[in-house]
Structure 1
């Protein structure tokens, strides 16, 4: 994906959607992606922060806490990008991201947080690869664009839920059409490569 289309929500979601058109695979991602983000945030709390960072910590209760660390920075950068892509959807996603950060930062203070987060994280990745291999029958988006896939995934599944609830039907219809065209283009390229390889073998 070129830099010129980095803030074009239609191009970005078409790219990601072309790898996630199967309903079973999408359902797996709707469940697993938020867990992947949350467990990553738990683990990121253990990354040492520079001494120049503000030393801010506040515990709301046994389940919610806030620390100025890399988990907070990751969430802030993701949200900033989502607001640039689609402000209304990003606004609706903000409470979910805030809750994810606060619960992750609280959970990170538990003694066994690394083991639990790592196991859940690994299981979710395995489930998603199964979704791609068995249901989608196509490699995940991260094979072609690691950064774009990892950053877009939470917003994509959030929008899938919003679309299912009736959010911006015209945008949804347009994206489905764009994804269909992109999938057809990719299949043509893959078919051409396969035929070229077969000719070389003859």
Structure 2
């Protein structure tokens, strides 16, 4: 069943998809988006504890946990099945990111995070510049691009590998919106 407003998956997916229609660019994003999430959570491990609760293995309820809960909850609201998978991946990234941060310590972790972020972001910008030939979505809608990127690549992967659709006709509807968006963008470029 299609949702509207903030939880309109079709609208979010078609916006993001219009910036990611080239198969090579999509593949690059599939490789690099989740490592960006993971390394961001490694860095966020060092943020202040929000709620002091004794958790096993040195896990803390900090901003990394808060972002994990927000992302996971949003994804589940968009689509229960794929969102649950994405939410689980968010929590796996938080747990293992926390373990890695503890092991490395801040003085090494921030360097690891910086190197990984630069490498992954560079790959994505190359994907857009060389293959997509369109600026990244984050230049037009920063929050939507950051929030949807992990879910987009997961849903794209689920569609490619097992033919998953949140509801019947989802991918056909999204493809029509993506094609219309790309056509409109190309026509606007011709006018410049």
**TM-score for the superposition, normalised by structure 2:** 0.89
- Residue from 70, 80, 89 that aligns with 1:87: 80
- How far does the alpha carbon of each residue in 1:123-161 deviate from its partner, in whole angstroms, 9 at most, with x for none? 000100000000000100000111110010000000001
Q: Is the 8 A contact 2:71 2:87 kept in 1?
A: no
Greater helix share, 1 or 2? 2
Select the structure of larger CA radius of gyration: 1
Q: Take 1:191 and 1:80, find their aligned partners in 2: how far apart are those partners?
A: 41
Q: Take 2:169 and 2:27, find their aligned partners in 1: how far apart are those partners?
A: 22
- CA RMSD for the aligned pairs? 1.5
**TM-score for the superposition, normalised by structure 1:** 0.85
Question: SS of the counterpart of 1:6?
Answer: helix
Q: Take 1:25 and 1:190, find their aligned partners in 2: how far apart are those partners?
A: 20
1:69 corresponding residue in structure 2: 62
Aligned pairs for 1:1-202 within 5 A: 5-50=5-50, 53-59=51-57, 66-109=59-102, 110-111=104-105, 112-164=108-160, 165-168=162-165, 170-192=169-191, 194=192
**Cα drift, residue 173 of structure 1:** 2.3
Q: Take 2:118 and 2:85, find their aligned partners in 1: how far apart are those partners?
A: 28
- Which shows bigger deviation, 140-149 or 110-119? 110-119
**Cα drift, residue 113 of structure 1:** 1.7
Q: Take 1:178 and 1:22, find their aligned partners in 2: how far apart are those partners?
A: 16
> Cα–Cα, structure 1 residues 146 and 129, in superposed 2: closer, same or farther, change >3 Å?
same
Q: Take 1:27 and 1:118, find their aligned partners in 2: how far apart are those partners?
A: 22
Q: Take 1:92 and 1:49, find their aligned partners in 2: how far apart are those partners?
A: 26
**Cα drift, residue 54 of structure 1:** 2.2
Tell me, which stretches of 5 or more residues in structure 2 are unaligned? none
**Cα drift, residue 37 of structure 1:** 0.2
Question: SS of the counterpart of 2:14?
Answer: helix
**Cα drift, residue 163 of structure 1:** 0.5
- Which shows bigger deviation, 84-93 or 166-175? 166-175
- Which shows bigger deviation, 112-121 or 151-160? 112-121
